[in-house]
Amino acid sequence: MRIVSWNVNGIRSVVGKGFYASLSSLAPDVVFVQETKWTDGPKNVFPEPLPGYQEVHTSSKLRKGYSGTLAYFKEKPLDIHFGLEDGAYDEEGRLITLEYPEVYLIGAYVPNSGEGLKRLSFRMEYEDRLLAYLKKLDEKKPVIYTGDLNVAHERIDLKNPEANVHNAGFTPEERAKMDVLLASGFADTFRRLHPEEVKYSWWSYRFHARENNAGWRIDYFLVSERLLAKVRASEIHDEIFGSDHCPVLLDIDLQ
Q: Which of the residues 126, 133, 145, 148 is marked catalytic?
A: 148
Q: How far apart are CA 144 and CA 252, in angstroms?
A: 10
AA identity, residue 12: R
Which strands sit side by side in the sheet containing 95-99, from one edge to the other? 79-82, 95-99, 104-109, 143-148, 219-224, 186-188
Q: Phi/psi at 182 (nearest 5 deg)? A: -70, -30
Candidates 149, 128, 166; CA nearest to 216 is 149
- What does the alpha-carbon distance between residue 74 and residue 199 come to, in Å, rounded to a whole number? 29
Q: Where are the alpha helices (DSSP H) in the chain?
A: 11-15, 19-26, 120-138, 172-183, 189-193
Does the annotation count 205 as an active-site position?
A: no
- 220: annotated active-site residue: no
Active-site option among 109, 133, 200, 220: 109
Active-site residues: which are they? 109, 148
